[in-house]
Structure 1
């Protein structure tokens, strides 16, 4: 039964993701997490490493993967997860990575619910063939981070990045929580957070945390192949929901997009509210997932691609697709060299990247059509010596999923390249029915360390699907910069995404802070369903932010020779905090031809800098006279 939404004020979103104060001591970590651990719990935590080892099972997925069994005591599971959350709740730029996998069965009871909080670089996934095979009686939640010294105020979700939940059912049960906390399952997140194949029942799903001491801002996010009850959007600035069934949606802030969603709100009155609703998703493929078959053997389910799809993939039974035994995969750890990984790929094996940071001094090269590269626990590839960490040949059907790619301290020409630019004498070996697919693939230039890359993601092949990515040149981090001007001159990144292939589709394209065009789309027949961009915060002067004689670089650029392109639901945000006098001429720049169509686009000012126009000189300025108030264009070309 649909639960009524509690009264939630739709607050004006906050522009700045930079934490005002990072918590660095154990005492403050405990303050942020709750009450200190009781003495009897300390004794239990001392036994956790042995407990984790005992439930790890077979095969060996590395030391940062724990496999739970439903026969395990709820208190032990709770203690393991609480221990990791205490380490990860504020570990935004840390190196620890974790994956928690749940064998089929039920976890938690009505009287003793399993209440899970998910921190940075943590994945929770069920090992059932269907989401209904793993049931969590309790909660799976993300709360605001409270950034004051006491951990009780200035609470926001603006930097709640890098976490994953998938393939399970949550029977929402807030027993033991206070009245506000018990009112919903909270998922207060921003970018690089994936919620897939979840079945949330018995309560609301709230995409903001309205129980902490404000301002409660959030800037996400992504939900796909899921079934939920009522969803409270609250303060979420932008969100894409794809191929799901929902029991209702509370409100919009700037840009909420629905594609192939049963129960999605109508968008006829755009921009009030600013919904963008597509009855079906033009091109889709669900992310591969680990599961246990009837004999208890590990398999990877690989769903097929589809067109004009709607609803979940599992509503009528097992998700269509092929199952690959885990024996077909090389299970890699960060101790494995690139040479070993490439040798295994050359032998025809697929690749499973277990949690950790992989230093990559030469490219991991995926050359065989149909290869699956699946990362778990936010496995991270870091460029060393200016390398391109990951390349995909111009062949169909390759799937890259659950992988983060970081720039290193020496500039890389590109971090992930799909197909060679002008390679194969111009002949692309694409299959529209089996596109190369990137699912939950994230990029960073800076943040945990100095980063340099000319381009983060370059797509040269045709018929590629990008299903949820965050491509981020860091606006904050722990690199030790003295200010934004030093960041501008040190953490360098020209373009976030460059698309040269034809018939490329992106569902959930988030690209931020690059130093020229954030996204350049040169291929024909491209489609984007939700685009979110923040222009760089840190240009020192207008002279540093000039495209020839034009003020600044648009956040989304379609090449001048392109004849056909479509974008549904796009936003470009400006916050030139290093120099608030800086101007950018256009948020979007596209050729003025009938086949290039933009639907529901906007610019917005976040209190510094100005975007003069939305697209091609059309639309009013997003300046500091209307902070947080978007300037919308319903369609372009204008009717």
Structure 2
């Protein structure tokens, strides 16, 4: 029998052996996926975001700021279909500057509150590059900062895919270009505008969870959800559709720098039946993750390398650039965050799907563009899988500022852009676009059937922009869906009526609620036709739905743009025809 000392050594060795065996067992079954074992970013400090991220700090002089930001705008002002991507990050402090925002540019404050970063001047978008026409001011953003424009209003003259989020404008805000040219946007969320918001020539606009000093202007479709200072409900004259609260909202994740100088990503909490900006009453409720919990991806990283990082339990931070994918990015872990800055662009090659998300809780997808490749993809982004039936009401997946493009930058094909199979998903500001201009554009060139298909139950959409697909723009199969704001243009280019016909009827409804749906509700929807290839083309209706008590529409309309083509009815067989004889808008305040 060994001595006492030897016996203690033996027990210690056995204990270590049991611990090692236990660790091995945990690793064998996968371990806690939210505790990654390695990272592509340093713990703390400033990560390597790549050459197209410009970081400003308040010690910089005005000349230094101009020399940093002006070249970005010079490169991006007219770069509608180029491959350059940029982000401008402002550390907490005050800046005397005017920052012009061009294509594929994000301007982001790095404070925990928008008021931690103040730009004394403007963060602005105008349209002089396009002769004062702002209808093509796409793909840009401003987030998480304050702007003090002085006596002049800050100008944010944008169209689709150009959100203003979590911004404090200490003054007035104009949403139209100087000279009052055309505009067709747009989206504001989680913001505070101290002065008057003027929509001017904007054809439509969606504002959510914000606080305005007032609002003036109306064209066709202005929708407000959870906005204090919004005008009263009055659709169709003027065409204001107003909800006192939003059914479900969870604000977009954002990058910030903590008091120790470390970079982190803040994850706001879910809110239901909410109104007003999340931050004006104090700190935004939520949690945060260190940047070391993310794989900080660069465009040179392969799809296999990104998937390996996701498999290790890391979240994904996409820096500016174009990512060419030869395999599908797969998100399998609950609560995974995929966040991009500077409009990082995923291009699937060889006909693969760009991204799939398993039917799990709490995934957050935000801030990137998926550009279809030359070989047809079945689906660009799928959330959940066929037959998904789990509930995620306490921790839904969110899709925010995620955009889809078929053609324009070159040949592109995809049958469907977004398929949502999971329940309880929140879709918050997307633009699914089959290109009507640019390269690789034509009825037989950039082919795409449908922009969005929703199969999951209890899905909420706040800000759906879906345009130019060759069949239904959107098909909603899941029960108890709710949409607040829908903007659509039907395809411009059907060559003739026989090429664009659904089940024996003229054309395809833009927004189709499937026959088996028993509950569905829409607030504020516009669908427009511009059949410029063949103006004799007609669509039987813009909105199609079963006639049951639980399916309702509020504030929907149609327009024939320039009288190019006809939409016979607005919803089912209700609503007057728009055509060359009368271009509209044709409005239905409530249906049924």
Q: Given the two structures, how large is their TM-score scaled by the length of structure 1?
A: 0.84
3-state SS in 2 of match to 1:157: coil
Three-state SS of the structure 2 residue aligned to 1:155 is coil
Q: Aligned residue for 1:630?
A: 585
2:20 maps to none
Moved more, 530-539 or 78-87: 78-87
Q: Secondary structure at the match of 1:355?
A: coil
Equivalent residue, structure 2, for 1:380: 345
Structure 1: 5+ residue stretches without partners: 1-56, 109-113, 148-153, 174-181, 482-486
Report what 1:296 is aligned to. 261
DSSP-derived class of the 1:585 partner: strand
Partner of 2:507: 552
What is the rounded CA distance, in whole Å, between the counterparts of 1:167 and 1:146 in structure 2? 27
CA-atom RMSD, angstroms? 1.1
Runs ≥4 residues deviating over 6 A: none
* Alpha carbons 2:331, 2:356 under 8 Å: kept: yes
1:206 paired residue number: 174
The correspondence of residues 199-598 of structure 1 with structure 2, limited to 5 A, is: 199-201=168-170, 203-209=171-177, 211-212=178-179, 216-228=181-193, 229-267=195-233, 269-422=234-387, 426=388, 428-479=389-440, 487-598=442-553
| Cα separation, 1, equivalents of 2:286 and 2:378 | 35
How many Å apart are 1:183 and its aligned residue?
3.3
Aligned to 1:22: none
Worse overlay, 507-516 or 74-83: 74-83
Structure 1 residue 340: deviation in Å?
Answer: 1.0
Cα distance in 1 for partners of 2:255, 2:73 equals 23
Q: Mean Cα displacement is larger for which, 463-472 or 66-75? A: 66-75
Whole-angstrom CA distance in 1 between matches of 2:419 and 2:340: 20
Name the counterpart of 2:104: 121
Q: Distance in 2 between matches of 1:157 and 1:478?
A: 20
Distance in structure 2 (CA, Å) of the matches to 1:494 and 1:388: 15
The answer to whether the Cα contact below 8 Å between 2:54 and 2:68 also exists between their aligned partners in 1 is no
**Paired residue for 2:149, among 152, 172, 177?**
172
Q: What SS is found at the alignment partner of 2:121?
A: strand
Kept in 1: contact 2:134–2:182 (CA 8 A): yes
State the partner residue of 2:23. Answer: none
Q: How does 1:73-84 map to 2 (within 5 A)?
A: 73-84=61-72
- Secondary structure of the 2:443 match is helix
Is the 8 Å Cα contact of residues 394 and 430 (structure 1) preserved in structure 2?
no
CA distance in 2, matches of 1:549, 1:384: 35
Which residue, 546, 556, 562 being the options, matches 1:601?
A: 556
**CA distance in 2: counterparts of 1:615 and 1:227, whole angstroms:** 35
Task: For structure 2, list consecutive stretches of 5 or more residues without a partner in the other structure.
Answer: 1-44
- Pair member with larger Rg: 2
State the Cα distance separating 1:329 from its structure 2 match: 0.4
1:270 and 1:259 map into 2 onto residues whose CA distance is: 14
Aligned partner of residue 228 in structure 2, secondary structure: coil
* Partners of 2:503 and 2:145 in 1: CA distance: 52
